[in-house]
Structure 1
Amino acid sequence: MAPRVLISDQLSDAAVQIFRDRGIDVDFQPDLGKDKDKLLEVIGNYDGLAIRSATKATEKVIAAATNLKVIGRAGIGVDNVDISAASKKGIIVMNTPFGNMITTAEHAIAMMFAVARQIPEASASTHAGKWEKSKFMGVELTGKTLGVIGAGNIGSIVCNRARGLSMKVVAYDPYLSDDRATEIGVEKVELDELLKRADFITLHVPLTDQTKNILSAENLARTKKGVRIVNCARGGLVDEAALADLLKSGHVAGAAFDVFAVEPATENPLFGLPNVVVTPHLGAATTEAQENVALQVAEQMSDYLLTGAVQNALNMPSVTAEEAKIMGPWIALSGHLGGFIGQMTDEPIKAINILFDGQVSTMNLAALTSSTVAGIMKATNPEVNMVSAPVIAKDRGIRISTTKQDQSGAFEGYIKVTVVTEKRERSIAGTVFSDGKPRFIQIKGINIDAEVGRHMVYTTNEDVPGIIGALGNTMGSNGVNIANFTLGRKEAKGEAIALLYLDEPVPAAALEALRATGLFQQVKPLVFDV
């Protein structure tokens, strides 16, 4: 059955056609997002929800979305999506951060020109029949220092454009490496240094606890006299009241804002002040950008629903379509390893440690880690998946650590999972053979070679005669066929284990019969999603 996608905001016809061309059943209702009650009524019928900003994917909507797997936001801002609620329910939230990068960067440059030359006020004056040539004395951008706060995707484009205007660019970004700063041609500085030196300041960071009011009253007071400030990123990055006071005092020569702390902004401390250019959140408002993000979200959602490829997800590691092909068996393996540990562990887990060896250590470890944790958590919560598992683990205070190393043994690559509880540590390792099938290769330090089946039985025992006979006879007398039988031991007459891959679920009577023999310390039925 084809996946069903609801488009509840305005998306282009070309985006709708992408879904249809990929074989997805798409329901295009561009005004539905404005009707909260109707959205709640129908959302449970869909696997995907494609939106812009009008649809509010609230906790209540997400709770009603019983089949929803992915929410795609055509644009970068996801303020209208409850990401926490979506994550806990295992719903991927995607945005399209690259579709409007050029447009937003160009708007920032345009706003910088506008405030440098007082273009809006000069235009209004001239429209009014005045000829106030001497009133609108501007400044050149050439030779001025531009301070860029946030040198990520959009910020780096602004840096490039500014260098083309012969500006000197200094950038503050805690994540900006020295090599990257050299590559984009900027001087990397601390925030205090930027505030002291910049003739223009432009912001290009998301709104987080760390960046909220990054240009606070205190920081604004440290700026160079005559500075001009541009914000086309997010409202709340600048203390607007403090900025208004500094504009009135003349310390700040001008400001250009496309975003505000409260939107829609019908009133604001900056409104009505001279040499303040304001626009109604137009950063992404070009024909090209709106088309780009619509097409991008349609492609991303289709890829995920049809192939499992994840791009630009905000609550799950991205996995490209090519990675999905190569990593598919390894993701399955990591889930099986987690599934074994989860089913074997009945006390609270304190930590999960994952070792990636050899070729697997160069893959997308974040995705493999999520799959492992999901496998573990499914033992107690069958509804968990790669999105929700890390969130649930964090809520439970479980520490997750990963290690990668070069090939260290006979296998080209393997994954080893160790779980730590108050009482013990339990570990299992596995690999993927050339046939693409996952194998368990070590349990409790005992080497084995076990194919993974849907129904399995795991036993531990002393290495004594009669084990194989007891297992075979008990399964046979209970009508259970053994598809594969694997034994392993540390040393002769020492600790030993067995894994049975069965064609059907093992009856409770068979398990009780095995336990009654007195040969086994542990008899555990296992089920894997294969």
Structure 2
Amino acid sequence: MAPKVLISDKLSEAAVQIFRDRGIDVDFQPDLGKDKDKLAAIIGDYDGLAIRSATKVTQKILDNATNLKVIARAGIGTDNIDKDAASQKGVIVMNTPFGNMITTAEHAIAMMFAVARQIPEASASTHAGKWEKSKFMGVELTNKTLGVIGAGNIGGIVCDRARGLKMKVVAYDPFLSQEKADKIGVEKVELDELLARADFITLHVPLTDQTRNILSKENLEKTKKGVRIINCARGGLVDEAALAELLTSGHVAGAAFDVFSEEPAKTNPLFGLPNVVCTPHLGAATSEAQENVALQVAEQMSNYLLDGAVENALNMPSMTAEEARVMGPWVALSGHLGGFIGQMTDEPIQAINILYDGVASEMNLAALNCSVVAGIMKKLNPDVNMVSAPVVARERGIQISTTNQDKSGTFDGYIKVTVVTSKRERSVAGTVFSDGKPRFIQIKGINIDAEVGAHMLYTTNEDVPGIIGTLGHILGDMGVNIANFTLGRSAAGGEAIALLYVDEPVPAAARAALAETEFFNQIKPLQFDVA
């Protein structure tokens, strides 16, 4: 059955056609996002939701989204999506960070020119027939110092354009390496130095707990007298009331804002002040950008719903379509390893340690980690998936660590999962054979070779004669057919294990009969999601 996608905001017809061409059932209702009650009533029918800024994806919407797998925002900002609730629900949240990068960067440059040369005021004056040529004395950008707060995708483009304008560029970004700073031709500085040196300051960071009010009253007062401030990133990055005071006092010479702490902005401390340029969140408002993000969101959603590729996700590691194809068996294996160890562990888990060896260590480990954790957490919640599992683990205070190493044994690669509780450590390892089928290769340090089946039975015992016969006889009498039977032991006469792949769940009566023999120390039925 074809996946179903709802588009609840205005999106390019070309994007709608992409869904259709990919074989996805698309429902285009561009005004639905404004009706939250109607959206909540029908969202349960859809696998994907494509939105812009008008649709608010709230907890209520997500509570009704019984089939939803992915929400994709045509644009960068996802403030209109409850990402925590989406993660709890196991829904991937994507955005399209690259489709409007150039447009937003160009708008910041345009706003910088506008405030430097007082273009909006001069235009209004000239339209009024005043011809006040001497009133509008501007400043050049050449040889001025531009302070860029946030030198990521958009900030990096602004740096490049500013250097083309012969500006000196200093950048504050905790994630900017010296190598990257050298490559884009900027001087990497701390925030206080940027504030003291910059003639113009432009912001290009998301709104987070760390960046909220990054230009607070205290920091604004550290700026160079005559500075001009541009914000085309997110409202809330600047203390607008404090900025208004400094504009009025003359400490700040001008400001250009495209975004505001409250939008739509009907009133704001900056409105009406001289030499303040304001636009209504136009950073991405070009025909090229609108088309780009619409096409990008359609491709990303289609790739995920059809091929399992995860691109530009905010709450899950990204995985390309090619990675999804190559890693598919390894993702399945990691989920099975987690599933095994999760079903075997009854006490609270304190830590999960994951070892990747050989070819497995060269893969997208973040995605494999999520699959392992999802397998473990399914015992607590059967609906958990690769998106929600890390959230569930974090809420329970479970520490997750990863180790990778070069090929160290018989197999080209393998994954070993160990969980730590207050009572014990328990481990299981597996690999993927050339046939693409996951195998368990070690349990409790005992080597085995077991194919993974939907229904399995795990037993432990002392290594004595008669175990195989006992298992076969009792399960046969109970009508349980054995598809695969694997044995392993630590040493002759030592601890032994058996892992059976059976055609149907082992009934309680069969487990009771096995227990009555007193051969077995442990008898555990297991279930796995096998495609």
Question: TM-score of the superposition, structure 1-length normalised?
Answer: 0.99
Residue 133 of structure 2 aligns to a residue whose secondary structure is: coil
Amino acid at match of 1:154: I
Distance 2:327 2:181 in 1: 33
The aligned runs of 1:333-412 (5 Å cut-off) are 333-412=333-412
Q: Which residue of 2 aligns with 1:212?
A: 212
Deviation of the 1:256 alpha carbon: 0.5
Distance 1:276 1:96 in 2: 30
Are residues 1:527 and 2:523 paired? no
Amino acid at match of 1:46: Y
Q: Which residue of 2 aligns with 1:454?
A: 454
Distance 1:131 1:69 in 2: 59
Residue by residue, what CA displacement relative to the aligned partner does 1:116-162 show, whole Å, maximum 9, x if unpaired?
Answer: 11111111111111111111111111111110000001000000100
Residue 410 of structure 1 aligns to a residue whose secondary structure is: coil
Distance 1:6 1:219 in 2: 44
474-483 vs 142-151, which moves further: 474-483
Distance 2:207 2:380 in 1: 36
Q: Which residue of 2 aligns with 1:25?
A: 25
Q: Which residue of 2 aligns with 1:281?
A: 281
Q: Which residue of 2 aligns with 1:482?
A: 482
Distance 2:67 2:339 in 1: 23
Q: Which residue of 2 aligns with 1:445?
A: 445
Are residues 1:306 and 2:315 paired? no
Q: Which residue of 1 aligns with 2:129?
A: 129
Distance 2:264 2:5 in 1: 29
Residue by residue, what CA displacement relative to the aligned partner does 1:94-137 show, whole Å, maximum 9, x if unpaired?
Answer: 11111110100000000001111111111111111111111111
Are residues 1:236 and 2:232 paired? no
Deviation of the 1:257 alpha carbon: 0.4
Deviation of the 1:433 alpha carbon: 1.1
Amino acid at match of 2:105: A
Q: Which residue of 2 aligns with 1:252?
A: 252
Distance 2:226 2:362 in 1: 50
Q: Which residue of 1 aligns with 2:329?
A: 329
Amino acid at match of 2:456: M
Distance 2:218 2:103 in 1: 31
Deviation of the 1:62 alpha carbon: 0.5
Are residues 1:41 and 2:45 paired? no
Residue by residue, what CA displacement relative to the aligned partner does 1:42-62 show, whole Å, maximum 9, x if unpaired?
Answer: 111111111111111110011
Q: Which residue of 1 aligns with 2:433?
A: 433
Distance 2:165 2:152 in 1: 20
Residue by residue, what CA displacement relative to the aligned partner does 1:1-43 show, whole Å, maximum 9, x if unpaired?
Answer: 1111111111111011011111111111111111122111111
Residue by residue, what CA displacement relative to the aligned partner does 1:162-186 show, whole Å, maximum 9, x if unpaired?
Answer: 0111111110000001111111111
Deviation of the 1:190 alpha carbon: 0.4
Q: Which residue of 2 aligns with 1:512?
A: 512
Amino acid at match of 2:244: A
Distance 2:137 2:399 in 1: 60
Question: TM-score of the superposition, structure 2-length normalised?
Answer: 0.99
Distance 1:507 1:275 in 2: 79
Distance 1:246 1:31 in 2: 41
Distance 1:228 1:29 in 2: 42
Q: Which residue of 2 aligns with 1:14?
A: 14
The gaps in structure 1 that reach 5 residues or longer are none
Distance 1:444 1:510 in 2: 25
Q: How many residues align?
A: 530
Distance 1:132 1:407 in 2: 76
Runs of at least 4 residues of structure 1 off by over 6 A?
none
Deviation of the 1:225 alpha carbon: 1.0
Q: Which residue of 2 aligns with 1:57?
A: 57
Deviation of the 1:380 alpha carbon: 2.3
Q: Which residue of 2 aligns with 1:118?
A: 118
Deviation of the 1:317 alpha carbon: 0.8
The gaps in structure 2 that reach 5 residues or longer are none
Amino acid at match of 1:230: I
Are residues 1:103 and 2:103 paired? yes
Q: Which residue of 2 aligns with 1:2?
A: 2
The aligned runs of 1:58-73 (5 Å cut-off) are 58-73=58-73
Q: Which residue of 2 aligns with 1:202?
A: 202
Distance 1:180 1:362 in 2: 24
Q: Which residue of 1 aligns with 2:269?
A: 269
Distance 2:223 2:410 in 1: 61
Deviation of the 1:236 alpha carbon: 0.7
Distance 2:134 2:380 in 1: 75
Q: Which residue of 2 aligns with 1:151?
A: 151
Residue by residue, what CA displacement relative to the aligned partner does 1:46-83 show, whole Å, maximum 9, x if unpaired?
Answer: 11111111111110011011111111111111111111
The share of aligned pairs that are identical, in percent, is 82
Residue 134 of structure 2 aligns to a residue whose secondary structure is: coil
Distance 1:366 1:484 in 2: 32
Residue 50 of structure 1 aligns to a residue whose secondary structure is: strand
Distance 1:215 1:36 in 2: 35
Q: Which residue of 1 aligns with 2:472?
A: 472
Residue by residue, what CA displacement relative to the aligned partner does 1:450-490 show, whole Å, maximum 9, x if unpaired?
Answer: 11111111011111111111111112111222111111111
Distance 1:252 1:409 in 2: 66
Distance 1:386 1:302 in 2: 19
User: How well do the aligned residues superpose, as a CA RMSD in angstroms?
Assistant: 0.8
Residue 134 of structure 1 aligns to a residue whose secondary structure is: helix
